[in-house]
């Protein structure tokens, strides 16, 4: 069985238009394997006000199920994790001021 090293998360509206998207890459760090979240795309013309929460719920569930941590590099994802301290156990490489 091959370990998954790339995971995509895409939300679409009823017209099949992408409203948001992110992807994770599994990388080897010296201490463990972690999922890196480089960017989040939000469609400026077609998204709802809760788009980030909906997208991040999917990401968080996947990361928890994988028994790994996530290293968010996108400012939107970092802001989300700062607002949700209940996910601190899956946040790899937290900023010192958190």
pLDDT confidence of residue 20: 97
Structure token digits, residue 20: 């948001």
The verdict on residue 13 lying in a domain is: yes
What single DSSP character describes residue 15? T
Total domains in the fold of the chain:
1
What's the CATH number where 78 sits?
Answer: 3.40.630.30
Asked if residue 72 is part of any domain, the answer here is yes
Residue 96 lies in a domain: no
Q: How is the beta sheet containing 33-42 ordered, strand by strand?
A: 6-12, 18-28, 33-42, 69-72
Q: Is residue 97 part of a domain?
A: no
Give the structural domain span for 10: 6-82
CA–CA dist 7, 25 (Å, integer): 7
46 vs 98: CA distance, rounded Å: 32
Q: What is the pTM of this model?
A: 0.90
Digits of tens for pLDDT over the chain (98 positions)? 577 899 999 999 999 999 999 999 999 999 999 999 999 999 999 888 899 999 999 999 999 999 999 999 999 999 999 999 999 999 998 766 65
* 27 alpha-carbon distance from chain centroid: 14
Judge whether 88 lies within some domain: no
């Amino acid at each position: 069985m091959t370990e998954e090293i790339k995971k995509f998360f895409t939300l679409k509206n009823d017209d099949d238009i992408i409203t948001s998207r992110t992807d994770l890459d599994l990388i080897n760090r010296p201490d463990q394997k972690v999922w890196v979240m480089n960017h989040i795309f939000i469609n400026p013309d077609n998204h709802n006000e809760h788009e980030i929460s909906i997208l991040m719920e999917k990401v968080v569930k996947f990361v928890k199920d994988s028994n790994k941590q996530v290293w968010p590099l996108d400012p939107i994802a970092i802001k989300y994790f700062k607002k949700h301290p209940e996910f601190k156990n899956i946040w790899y490489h937290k900023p010192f001021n958190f």
